[in-house]
Amino acid sequence: MKEIQSINEGTGTVVFKDGSSVDHKQFIEQFREFLQHRIAGETIVPADMERFMRRTSGKSLSQLMKSKKMEGYMEGSSDKTLTTGQKIAIGTIVTLSIVGVIIFVILRNQGIIPGA
């Protein structure tokens, strides 16, 4: 963190002890660079928030964030394939179901289970 040496309110400039200085316009540019890709992987700057607040209500920005979050989730989960364990589990369930139906039909045909 830089230590401030002096602040010139007339020109709106801040001078630091290491000799560097920043004015209001440079501060805004650096702040926007800092905010890039900080919220939901998107570039959101204060102008975006003002636009959403003016357009409808305060819920617009939160809805945008929710949609960006869901969009990221869908992109992350859409290209996944089944793992070996999942394939084995599905195959086991299908096999047990088929065996169960075969056993039911055999028992019903032999008269052990009364048919409808």
Instruction: Domain of residue 105: give its range.
Output: 81-110
How far is Cα 70 from Cα 30, in angstroms, rounded to an integer? 29
- Do 72 and 34 have their domain in common? yes
- Do 101 and 67 have their domain in common? no
Report if residue 116 sits inside a domain: no
- Do 14 and 55 have their domain in common? yes
Q: Residue range 84-102: average pLDDT? A: 94
Q: What is the DSSP letter of 80?
A: -
- Do 49 and 106 have their domain in common? no
Its pTM stands at 0.33
Return the pLDDT at 32.
75
pLDDT tens for 29-49 read 877 777 665 655 555 666 666
Distance between start and end Cα atoms, the chain? 83
Which one is predicted more confidently, 13 or 1?
Answer: 13
Return the pLDDT at 58.
55
How many domains, in total, are found in the chain? 2
Report if residue 62 sits inside a domain: yes
- Do 71 and 17 have their domain in common? yes
- Do 101 and 68 have their domain in common? no
Q: Which residues contact 16 (CB under 8 A, 6 or more apart)?
A: 2, 3, 4, 5, 22
Report if residue 75 sits inside a domain: yes
Do the Cβ atoms of 71 and 42 come closer than 8 Å? no
